Amino acid sequence: MTSQTENPAATDAPETENESKSNEITKIIAVSSDKVLPADAAQAAYAAGYPVSLKETCYGLVITGKEENVNAVVKAVQALDYNHIFVKDRGFPAGDKRRCRATRNGGQRPGFYTLHAEISRMGEVGEALDDYDEGVQKAPANWPKKPSSFKMEDFINETLNEDDSSKKE
């Protein structure tokens, strides 16, 4: 069995900009709360004091930084109203030229409409999570019964016969 030792020179060496960027992640924090506004989420993120890049948006925040720092900020923000503050991974940091509208002559950024649709449903998800936490019993589902194939066949034949008789008249 071999043991692995760290090279002290390698750990003390400063990271290059590309290495630093490759260790970064970006997350979207979307706020859908009656108690917390996106500005409140931003204040909590700033107050957490971690070295991350924050972009305030109409729906919440975009946070970029080292994974442990971003996750710590997310935890601090979600503590405001856990069931109504949602987190989603984002593939690109804020201002990335591949996604930025400024370099694409304006318009909606790709994925905006999907994000908008998701955010519009978050209130219902938050309420369901609140009910779950409170132990509210689920209402039993009232599913329609599957019709038998014989009844379907009879219905189709009756409909076809009615159509044939109306054409003859």
pLDDT digits (tens, 9 = 90+) for 50-81: 999 999 988 899 999 999 999 999 999 999 99
Q: If DSSP codes are grouped into helix, strand and coil, which group holds residue 31?
A: strand
Instruction: Return the number of other C-beta atoms located less than 10 Å from residue 147's C-beta.
Output: 9
Report the domain count for the chain.
Answer: 1
- The DSSP code for 111 is T
Q: What Å distances lie between residue 95 and 16, 70, 89, CA to CA?
A: 20, 17, 16
Residue 81 in any domain: the answer is yes
The ranges of the chain with pLDDT < 70 are: 1-22, 99, 101, 104, 106-110, 163-169
Q: Does some domain include residue 41?
A: yes
Q: pTM for this one?
A: 0.65
Residue 125 has, within 13 A of its CA and on its CB side, a CA count of 14
Residue at 146 is within a domain: no
